[in-house]
């Protein structure tokens, strides 16, 4: 599994109301226990409103062929580019 990690800061009031967690899995991991664990972690974080009040995590999962680091890096860059967030101006960078 390749993962794109987005840091969560302890200052939850400064966070966007919606944060996208991106993950890249190989095609053979589709609906695997690893993918389900990722989805479940997002679900549990959203369920506990003490962790991130006023913020909802959503996931964006991409799939790549096994042993294909080229496409994994391309999809990783796309996830980071599309969901990058500029905290200074409170706007998305697309």
- 10 lies in some domain: no
On whether the pTM is more than 0.75, the answer is: no
- 37 lies in some domain: yes
Residues 8-50 pLDDT 10s: 555 556 677 888 888 888 888 899 999 999 999 999 999 998 8
- 34 lies in some domain: yes
Of the two residues 93 and 51, the one the predictor is more confident about is 51
Residues 63-90 pLDDT 10s: 888 887 777 777 777 666 555 544 444 4
- 4 lies in some domain: no
- 94 lies in some domain: no
Domain count, the chain: 1
pLDDT computed for residue 86 by the predictor: 45
pLDDT at 5 over 90: no
Residue range of the domain that includes 74:
18-88
**DSSP conformation class of 7:** -
pLDDT computed for residue 74 by the predictor: 77
């Amino acid at each position: 599994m390749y993962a794109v990690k987005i840091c969560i800061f302890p200052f939850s009031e400064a966070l966007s109301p919606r944060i996208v967690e991106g993950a890249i899995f190989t095609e053979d991991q589709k609906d695997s226990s690893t993918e389900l664990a990722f989805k479940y972690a997002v679900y549990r974080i959203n369920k506990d409103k003490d962790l991130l009040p006023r913020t909802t995590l959503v996931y964006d999962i991409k799939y790549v062929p096994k042993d294909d680091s080229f496409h994994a890096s391309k999809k990783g860059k796309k996830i980071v580019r599309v969901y990058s967030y500029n905290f200074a101006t409170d706007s998305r960078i697309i």
